[in-house]
Amino acid sequence: MTDTQEFETFMRNYQDMVFSTAMRLLANQAEAEDITQDVFLKAYERFGDLRESKTAGGWLKTVATNLSLNHLSRYRSRWSFFSDLLGKNREEGEEAEIEFPASDNVEENLARSERRELVEQALQALPTAQRVPLVLFHIEGLQYDEIAAKLGVSMGKVKTDIFRAREALRRKLRLTLGDEYLAGAV
């Protein structure tokens, strides 16, 4: 098997994971494709080391995350300003962007795959300042301090943005949290 063929197999194995990481951080298919391409071009330059490496997946994920965050800070509005200046408006303004079934209990009415599709849509509709820390925390498994360091913001801001993001998802998806939460919320 030639190097190129071997790299093709390598890319087939990891491209979905890399694309998912970029897509969930950027919420934009074209940008996520560009980032995925950049990640694999970097991987090709280091393919000699990565080919046999057991941590290749982790390396790819880290590079995908870092490139996506660089992309966000470089090519989009400075997102640290987002939640301070526009956060509330966007949070409220984007509520109506996705059409969810009017049913009170979404979980009962939707099949599992449809449910995931809705979660995906709701996630991608979140403002960047909320989506990014939320994805880093829940999907990438980073801690608050690690997220704050990566994004160059305070830990308090990270916690607030994640909390707002969870609240937005709760409203959009009508998450069932149990009686204890509902009692507290009233």
- Residue 112 CB, shortest distance to another protein, in Å, is 8
Helix, strand, coil percentages (3-state) for the chain, rounded to 5, are: 80, 0, 20
Mask for 39-68, x = binds another protein (CB under 8 A): -xx--xx-----------------------
145 binds another protein (CB under 8 A): no
Which CB, 150 or 159, lies closer to another protein? 159
Cα–Cα dist 158/142, whole Å: 12
Task: For 96-155, give the DSSP string.
Answer: GGS-----S-HHHHS-HHHHHHHHHHHHHHS-HHHHHHHIIIIIS---HHHHHHHHTS-H
**150 vs 68: CA distance, rounded Å:** 12
Applying the rule CB under 8 A, the residues between 117 and 136 that interact with another protein are 119-120, 123, 134-135
Which of 28, 73, 80, 160 touches another protein by CB under 8 A?
A: 160
Site string (2-41) toward another protein, x via CB under 8 A: --x--xx--xx--xxxxxx--xx----x---x--xx--xx
CB burial readout 93-124, b (16+ within 10 A) else e: eeeeeeeeeeeeebeeebeeeeeeebeebbbb
Stretch that binds another protein, among 70-78, 87-95, 97-105, 163-171 (CB under 8 A): 163-171
What is the DSSP track for 57-83? HHHHHHHHHHHHHHHHHHHSS-HHHII
> Residue 32 Cβ, how far from another protein at the closest point, in Å?
8
Which residues here bind another protein, judged by CB under 8 A? Answer: 4, 7-8, 11-12, 15-20, 23-24, 29, 33, 36-37, 40-41, 44-45, 116, 119-120, 123, 134-135, 138-139, 159-160, 162-163, 166-167, 169-170, 173, 175-178, 180-181
